């Protein structure tokens, strides 16, 4: 019972870490990467869709992204979504494709991105701690209901804390690497 609960916690915490990786991929480091814009939300066909569902993305050069819409009628909406994003990008549209030059980062913009990284990392830590809190409560209820002994509950609490600490360390390390990458000139 407890191993299943801990395994479930580990899976859910892993998803929080994956969400952090996805969020950090959208924070630019001065190099062109399709991950930078692939999840931007575009208003097209009467709904909001991620950009990667409307176009193919590539980085043919270190400082250039190319967006090739599957349908030319969505090109204006894609361009508008890129301009509205907090990334500070200025796309160029030639009617067929959108070229997105990636300007070099200045010091102020780098610091702003570092603040964003720290905020996303804190969100991930909070999500992981919420998972721990929910599962600790689940263990307490199992103990109160007599389904597990106090010793088993104690071991479960210890194991959950160990798993939580492991994932929080991974979040911290991921944030440190991204911050170093951002501050690299």
| Residue ranges, CATH 1.10.132.20, the chain | 2-25+106-183
Question: What is the CATH architecture assignment of 2-25+106-183?
Answer: Orthogonal Bundle (1.10)
- Which sign does the torsion angle of CA 97, 98, 103, 105 carry? negative
Distances (CA, A) of 182 to 26, 59, 73, 175: 12, 19, 35, 10
As a whole number, mean pLDDT of residues 73-84 equals 90
Mean pLDDT of 152-176: 95
- 65-80 b/e (C-beta count within 10 Å ≥ 16 → b): bbbebeeeebbebbbe
Distance between start and end Cα atoms, the chain: 51
| Domain 34-101 fold | Gyrase A; domain 2 (3.30.1360)
Question: What pLDDT digit, counting tens, does each position of 11-35 carry?
Answer: 999 999 999 998 887 776 667 778 7
Q: List, by residue range, all CATH 3.30.1360.40 domains of the chain.
A: 34-101
- pTM of the model as a whole: 0.72
Q: What percent of the chain has pLDDT over 90?
A: 51
d(CA 36, CA 22): 9
pLDDT tens per residue, range 121-138: 999 999 999 999 999 999
């Amino acid at each position: 019972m407890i191993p299943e609960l801990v395994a479930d916690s580990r899976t859910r915490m892993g998803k929080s870490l994956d969400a952090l990786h996805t969020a950090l991929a959208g924070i630019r480091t001065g190099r062109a990467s399709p991950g930078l814009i692939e999840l931007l939300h575009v208003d097209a066909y009467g709904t909001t869709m991620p950009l990667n569902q409307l176009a193919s993305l590539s980085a043919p050069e270190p400082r250039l992204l190319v967006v090739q819409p599957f349908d030319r009628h969505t090109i204006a909406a894609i361009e508008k979504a890129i301009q509205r994003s907090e990334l500070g990008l200025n796309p160029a549209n030639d009617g067929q494709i959108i070229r997105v030059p990636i300007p070099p980062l200045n010091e102020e913009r780098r610091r702003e991105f570092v603040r964003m990284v720290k905020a996303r990392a804190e969100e991930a830590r909070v999500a992981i701690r919420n998972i721990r809190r929910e599962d600790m409560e689940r263990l307490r209820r199992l103990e109160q209901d007599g389904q597990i002994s106090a010793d088993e509950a104690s071991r479960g609490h210890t194991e959950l804390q160990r798993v939580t600490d492991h994932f929080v360390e991974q979040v911290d390390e991921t944030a440190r690497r991204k911050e170093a990458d951002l501050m690299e000139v």
